[in-house]
Every structure is written in C-alpha cells, then in structure tokens.
C-alpha cells in the first residue's frame, strides 16, 4: 500500500502534481501537530542567544522588526494583538520540531533548511511577501487566514525592515485550522494573518543562488588547486608606456587561468560539505565526561546512537558528510552510515565494524551524536 501524505495524496502524486508547480491546501493533514509546540516553548527559545528569533509588529501603516535574544520584559511590553514572534531552527532545538521535519522525509534532506515556528496574536502577521524556496505551512494552535497568488509583480515596499510586496493581489483565500497544511511553490505571493492566537510551523527548503554556489565553490577549490606553471614572457618587447599592461600579458594570464579544472567528484564533495555546514549560530555540546573508547563501543552496540538535533548528515557515493566534514568510507561502513543519514538513528543491537566505531566515537566526542536510539 502506498503511503498517503496530507490525508489524501500519495508522496509520488504530490511530487508529480504540486512540487514546484502549484499550491496545495490539505485540511487535517497533520492533526497530531495541532498542539505540539506552544507559545511558552517559543518564548523560552527566543530568550536564548544561540537561537535566531524576531518579533514583527505593525502599527498603522508602519512595520517594526526586532531581533532577539529577548527578555521576558520585552514580551510584557508588547500589545495584546498585532504582533508575531518567529523562531528559526526549531528542529535543531526541540525534538517535536525534528519529528515534524521527518514527516517530509520523502523530499531529500539535502533540500531541507529548517523548521521555523511563529506565534501570533490576533491580527499578527509578517505582511504580504514571497519566498524564493518551497514552503509547507502547517497550522498548530488557532486559526490563520491565508491569501496567496501567482502574481508576477514582485516589487517591494521601499524603506521598510521587511520584504513587503507593494502591490499584493490575492487570487485564493483559505482559513487554516489546527492540523491543516498549505504548500506554496517558490515565488508565490502570500499573506497570513492570525484570526486568533495561533502557532504556525513553516518548513522551508534550501534554494541557493548561482552566485552563492559559485563563490563558495571557488573558496572550496582554493585548497584543491595544483597549478604548476609559472608566468613567463621571453618575447617581451621594450615599451615606452611602462604603466600600461601589455595585451599579451592579459592573454597569457587568461590562458593560465583556463587551466583551472574540477571533477564531478570534487563538485560532489563540495556539495556535501556545503549542504551540511552548520549555520553561524550553531554550537555543538560536547559530552562533559566523555566515555573511554571501549566503554563507548560497548554502550552503542547495546543501546544504538542518534544524531544530535543540530547535526546534518548526507551521503553520496563513498562519501559521508557530517556538519561540513567529508569522510570516505568502505562499503560496509557506507551501508550503516547511510542508514544513520536516512533515519537519523541506528537502533540496537548495533553491528558496527572498526571503521564505523572509530567515526562514531569521533562524532560523539565532537557532540554530533548521542548514545541511545530515538525509538529505544
């Protein structure tokens, strides 16, 4: 039996009919997340300096943006309505957020960014805008009215701290309640306004620009380049314009730079490292009293392991990428570590060879993994 998602569609049908093509509204798609995370948890996260958070509010025609971390006093000063708290990376700080992200594991983790959760008072929202990436919006507590359209006019309001569309024109309108879901492809204009006190989960996906990929790949290549030639110009002629660069010199340098080459394997290694690299505010908690190697081995074989919430792990070919690091592994290790990348855990009893045990111990000491499977 093909697994249904969002209460009605199969995974294949969703990807074929909707992914990067058209929106989807699915009522009662994920009812188990209706009350998973509440305002208390979000306000607590917004007070941490290792969590990215923002408060958006509108007064009249003016928009205001404040960046965290916040204090309880900051929240006590806010009005009763018309504001929104947004907290990024909730999947990396709360297990409830990580479980929600796994609901979308029919899409490669390589495309996923994070789970942002917002808490809004009545009338709260962030204004009409568009995202350059795919997004799933899952309603938790309360109700929110969504308006969206495929408009081509994406001009923004100037001189405001948020990217607000200047000429938003709604084509569809839906009210989402607890457990309902809205999927929007990239660049669809949308505006969500809280009708009641509400919590909304936003599952975003990565869509790096060519400029970003190009500049980062060139940085990656710096350590890989092995150009062995040396500039030479035995045919250089005397000049009466010493301040002018000779045209043959430009041509020779262009030819030398044309020797820069890269392989598909290097692109794969860059991609894995780039996509698993932690964000700037991510800090991994190393074990205070790390187990000795033999004790660690015995415990993981008996109890299994799980990835830390902030760990990103991907595989490709004989590579496994962990938080921006690349490792090449043998066939047996690749099979087991591929399971860790897919399921984010290895359940007991664990049959790990020396290569896997060595890597797991290294990651354990770095704070990347924890002992004990999630299902254990």
Residue 2 has pLDDT above 60, yes or no: no
| Confidence at residue 190, expressed as pLDDT on a 0 to 100 scale | 98
**Residues β-bridged to residue 63:** 58
- pLDDT, tens digit (0-9, with 9 covering 90-100), for 128-153: 999 999 999 999 999 999 999 999 99
Average pLDDT over residues 187-212: 96
Domains of the chain as residue ranges with CATH? 4-205 (2.60.120.650), 264-376 (3.40.366.30)
Q: How far apart are CA 23 and CA 149, in angstroms?
A: 9
- The total of other beta-carbon atoms located within 10 Å of residue 204's CB is 17
Average pLDDT, the chain: 94
Q: What is the pLDDT of residue 281?
A: 87
pLDDT in tens, 348-362: 988 889 999 999 999
What is the pLDDT at residue 296? 95
Q: Among candidates 84, 45, 46, which has minimal Cα distance to 65?
A: 84
What pLDDT was estimated at residue 289?
92
pLDDT of residue 346: 95
What pLDDT, on a 0 to 100 scale, did the predictor assign at position 376? 46
pLDDT tens by residue, 250-272: 999 999 999 999 999 999 999 99
CA dist 359 and 356 (Å) reads 5
Please state, in angstroms and rounded to a whole number, the distance separating the CA atoms of residues 167 and 294.
64
Under the banding of pLDDT at 50, 70 and 90, the label for residue 93 is very high
pLDDT digits (tens, 9 = 90+) for 43-55: 999 999 999 999 9
CA separation for the pair 96, 90 (Å, rounded): 8
**Residue 22 CB neighbours (<10 A):** 12
C-alpha to C-alpha distance for 161 and 246, rounded to whole angstroms: 48
What pLDDT is attached to residue 8?
74
Say whether pLDDT at 203 is over 90: yes
Output the CA torsion 77→79→83→87 (10° steps): 30
pLDDT computed for residue 286 by the predictor = 94
pLDDT of residue 317: 95
Quickly list DSSP for 123-187: T----SB--SS-EEEEE-SS-EEEEEE--S--PBPTT-SS--BSS---SEEEEE-TT-EEEE-TT
């Amino acid at each position: 039996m093909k697994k249904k998602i969002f209460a009605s569609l199969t995974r294949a049908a969703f990807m074929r009919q909707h992914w990067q093509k058209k929106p989807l509204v699915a009522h009662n798609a994920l009812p188990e997340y209706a009350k998973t995370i509440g305002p208390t948890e979000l306000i607590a996260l917004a007070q941490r300096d290792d969590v990215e958070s923002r408060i958006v509010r509108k007064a009249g025609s003016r928009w205001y943006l404040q960046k965290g971390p916040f204090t309880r006093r900051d929240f006590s000063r806010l009005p009763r309505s018309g504001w929104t708290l947004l907290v990024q990376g909730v999947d990396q700080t709360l297990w409830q957020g990580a479980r929600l992200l796994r609901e979308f594991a029919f899409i490669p983790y390589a495309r996923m960014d994070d789970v942002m959760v917002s808490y809004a008072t009545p009338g709260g929202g962030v204004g009409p805008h568009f995202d350059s990436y795919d997004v799933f919006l899952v309603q938790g507590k309360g109700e929110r009215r969504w308006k969206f359209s495929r408009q081509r006019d994406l001009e923004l309001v100037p001189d405001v701290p948020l990217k607000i569309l200047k000429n938003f024109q709604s084509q569809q309108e839906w009210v989402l309640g607890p457990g309902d879901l809205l999927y929007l492809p990239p660049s669809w204009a949308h505006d969500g306004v809280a009708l009641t006190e509400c919590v909304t989960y936003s599952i975003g996906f990565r869509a790096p620009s060519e400029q970003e990929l190009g500049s980062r790949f060139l940085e990656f290549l710096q350590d890989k380049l092995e150009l062995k030639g040396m500039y030479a110009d035995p045919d250089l002629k005397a000049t009466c314009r010493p301040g002018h660069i000779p045209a043959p010199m430009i041509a020779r340098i262009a030819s030398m730079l044309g020797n820069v080459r890269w392989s598909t394997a290097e692109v794969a290694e860059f991609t894995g490292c780039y996509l698993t690299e932690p964000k700037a505010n991510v800090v991994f908690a190393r074990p205070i009293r790390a187990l000795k190697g033999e004790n660690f081995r015995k415990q993981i074989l008996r109890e299994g392991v799980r990835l830390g919430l902030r760990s990103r792990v991907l595989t490709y070919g004989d590579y496994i990428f962990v938080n921006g690091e690349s490792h090449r592994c043998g066939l047996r290790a690749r099979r087991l570590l591929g399971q860790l990348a897919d399921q984010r855990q290895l359940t007991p009893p664990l049959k790990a060879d020396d290569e896997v045990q060595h890597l797991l111990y290294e990651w354990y000491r770095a704070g990347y993994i924890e002992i004990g499977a999630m299902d254990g």
